Structure 1
Amino acid sequence: MADKPKIALIISSTRDSRWADKPAQWALKHMQARDDIEVELVDLRDFDLPFFNEVASNAYVPTQDPRAVRWQQEIARFDGYVFLVAEYNRSITGALKNALDQDYINWGKKPMGVIGYGSVGAARAIEQLRLMAIELQMVPVRAGVHIGGSDFFRVSAYNPNPEPMEALDGILAGSVKDMLDQVSWYAGILKTARAAVQQAA
Structure 2
Amino acid sequence: MAKRRADGLSKEVIVQAAAAILDDGGEAALTFRALTARLSTGYGAIYHHVANKSDLLAAATDAVIARVMADAVVEDEPREALRTVSLGLFDAIDAHPWVGAQLSREPWRPALLEVYERIGGLLVALDVPEQALFDAAGALVNYVLGVAGQNAANARLLATDRSAFLGDVAAQWAALDPERYPFVHRAATQLREHDDREQFLAGVDIFLAGIATLH
TM-score, normalisation: structure 1: 0.30
Q: Which has the higher contact order (CA 8 A, sep 6+)?
A: 1
Higher helix share: 2
Higher Cα Rg, which structure: 2
